[in-house]
Copies of this chain bind each other. A is one copy, B any other.
Amino acid sequence: MSTKEEIGITVKKDENFSEWFSQVVAKARLADIRYGLQGFIVHREWGFKILRKIYELFEEEVEKNGHEPVLFPIAIPEKFFEKEKEHVEGFAPEVFWVTRAGNDDLEEPFALRPTSETAFYSMYSLWIRSWKDLPFKRYQSRICVYRYESQTRPFLRGREFLFFETHCAFRTHEEALKQVEEDMKILKKITEEKLFIPFIFFRRPKWDKFAGAQDTYAADSVMPDGRVSQIGSTHDLGQRFSKAFEVTFKDEDMKDKYVWITCFGPGIWRIMASIIAIHGDDKGLILPSSIAPYHCVIIPIYFKGKEKEVDEKAIEVQKILSEQGFSVAVDTNKEKTAGFKFNEWEMLGIPLRIEIGPKEVKDNTCVIVRRVDRNKNSVPVKNLVEEIEKELKINDKLLKKRSKRYHVITKAETFEDVKKLVGKGFIKAPFCSIDETAEKCAEKLQETTNLKVRGIPLEDEEKAKGKKCIICGKPAKYIVYLAKAY
């Protein structure tokens, strides 16, 4: 962070969101897009530390929910991949193939996993034998998947991107559907309650479900530019994959039966993108305390001849806070001004800054500055632990409150009304259906407006009695949500 072009963001978030986002990604050392291969980015130091925290949150929750960790190969043999017809059709156009090794053409080329259903279930057919083995819940974390995308963007769409996936097998469809609900609760608990990203869970239209799924439930969050981003999804795979991969169990009645499968994937990258986009401001990132690599940064304010006493106090304060479980950085660099450092650390989004100068040393106090609203507060060192706890909570609370500002939902009754609202978050509108029969209407909508039917919300399903589909004019079955999407 030492040369001029790395200092500060040069555009306003509200004026040029896209450029602002790119600058934050580069300048807060989240990722570097200059690797030289489209869609493959380098996850840099600060970005990696935040992503690791996000992963830890999900690992903890799914393990509490009974999932055991495993790690599968990146390679999907062609023969696995082709067992489930819809799955291969959906993924074939975007799969990378390894065809050579050393000087040999491989007899059996393999794909780089675009997702891991076929890998997991090929082994589940060996691992699951009896009803006593069920439910069988496994997950893998901190992996990448590979898709041959044409348009790529850090944390939004990549040819290589970070992944997390659970795969569960059950005795009955009811139990499977209950897991789908659990998955949604896990996503909500972390993303909404700890990361403050508002979203809506939808049942996706039949034409937009995961390739091979019976039903897809996905969460969309509105980005500052009014487009929505899918930040996670969970799928009821029914018995399609268990039939394709012969995943059976001997039930209590001694009959062999196919398991019911679900899979769940929070979008690690997309969640990161939402954290950047929704919480950030013109100074850079703002991080919720649950994933901030440091809760606070101490910046000693140096005056000539007083450097030593200020540094000593800073280290003392760091020690007090660390012992109470806070993660605290101290920036004792003597070549940069305090103001310069304020900017640097604000860019990184640390929730709280602690300023300690000679005055504070004398009074045995600290100045605490919140990242969200830059509120300043002088507190005695003896109260510091409680004050930091309090200020972190306030910072999070303000962040949560602000997070709602992009979460816009409007209503429309006609196609004309819809057109005026394009690109401004969600639009609720009557639609003939979300079954295959309505796919034509959805295509027409997308061709003319770039809007997609995101589905019907799970928590607030609205009947469309008496209303007409905005496209075909036939009686509408549902009020659906429309949006431009990432």
Per-position 1/0 for A109-148, Cβ under 8 A of B: 1101000000100110011011011000010001010001
Q: Which of A41-82 contact B (CB under 8 A)?
A: 41-45, 48-49, 52, 68-75, 77, 79-80
Per-position 1/0 for A192-210, Cβ under 8 A of B: 0000000000000000000
A92 at the interface (CB under 8 A from B): yes
A254 at the interface (CB under 8 A from B): no
List residues of chain B with CB within 8 A of the CB of A129: 2-3
A305 at the interface (CB under 8 A from B): no
Q: What's the interface size class on A, roughly?
A: 35 or more
Measured in the bound complex, the distance between the Cα atoms of B204 and A216 in whole Å is 55
A166 to chain B, nearest CB (A): 13
With A2-B129, A110-B37, A126-B34 given, is the CB distance from A69 to B45 under 8 Å?
A: yes
List residues of chain B with CB within 8 A of the CB of A80: 36
Q: Which of A1-26 contact B (CB under 8 A)?
A: 2-3
B77 touches A36 (CB 8 A): yes
A100 at the interface (CB under 8 A from B): yes
With A45-B69, A73-B160, A160-B75 given, is the CB distance from A102 to B148 under 8 Å?
A: yes
Which chain B residue has the least Cβ–Cβ distance from A148? B101
Chain A interface main SS type? mixed
Measured in the bound complex, the distance between the Cα atoms of B32 and A98 in whole Å is 22
A99 at the interface (CB under 8 A from B): yes
B92 touches A102 (CB 8 A): yes
List residues of chain B with CB within 8 A of the CB of A3: 129
A138 touches B97 (CB 8 A): no
Which chain B residue has the least Cβ–Cβ distance from A46? B68
Which chain B residue has the least Cβ–Cβ distance from A101? B148
List residues of chain B with CB within 8 A of the CB of A100: 96-97, 99, 109
B102 touches A37 (CB 8 A): no
Interchain CB contact (< 8 A) of A97 among B35, B98, B133: B98
A42 touches B73 (CB 8 A): yes
With A2-B129, A34-B123 given, is the CB distance from A101 to B108 under 8 Å?
A: no
Per-position 1/0 for A397-416, Cβ under 8 A of B: 00000000000000000000
A95 at the interface (CB under 8 A from B): yes
List residues of chain B with CB within 8 A of the CB of A94: 101-102
Measured in the bound complex, the distance between the Cα atoms of B103 and A92 in whole Å is 8
Measured in the bound complex, the distance between the Cα atoms of B96 and A74 in whole Å is 13
A48 touches B69 (CB 8 A): yes
A466 at the interface (CB under 8 A from B): no
A110 to chain B, nearest CB (A): 6
B35 touches A73 (CB 8 A): yes
Measured in the bound complex, the distance between the Cα atoms of B395 and A439 in whole Å is 65
A251 to chain B, nearest CB (A): 15
Measured in the bound complex, the distance between the Cα atoms of B103 and A109 in whole Å is 14
Measured in the bound complex, the distance between the Cα atoms of B100 and A80 in whole Å is 18
Measured in the bound complex, the distance between the Cα atoms of B70 and A144 in whole Å is 14
B52 touches A123 (CB 8 A): no
A261 to chain B, nearest CB (A): 17
A221 to chain B, nearest CB (A): 24
B138 touches A45 (CB 8 A): yes
B96 touches A101 (CB 8 A): yes
A40 at the interface (CB under 8 A from B): yes
List residues of chain B with CB within 8 A of the CB of A73: 35, 37, 40-42, 160
Q: List 30 A-B contacts (CB under 8 A).
A: A2-B130, A2-B132, A2-B133, A32-B123, A34-B126, A35-B73, A36-B79, A37-B73, A37-B108, A37-B110, A40-B73, A40-B75, A41-B73, A42-B71, A42-B72, A43-B71, A45-B70, A73-B160, A74-B144, A74-B160, A92-B102, A93-B102, A94-B101, A96-B101, A97-B99, A98-B98, A99-B100, A100-B109, A102-B148, A142-B142
Known: A37-B77, A104-B148, A142-B142. 14 other contacts (CB 8 A): A2-B129, A32-B123, A34-B123, A34-B126, A36-B79, A37-B75, A42-B72, A45-B68, A74-B112, A74-B144, A75-B160, A94-B101, A96-B101, A98-B98
Which chain A residues have a beta carbon within 8 Å of chain B's beta carbons? 2-3, 32, 34-37, 40-45, 48-49, 52, 68-75, 77, 79-80, 92-104, 108-110, 112, 119, 122-123, 126-127, 129-130, 132-133, 138, 142, 144, 148, 160
Q: A-B pairs with the 5 shortest C-beta distances?
A: A43-B71, A101-B148, A40-B73, A97-B100, A45-B68
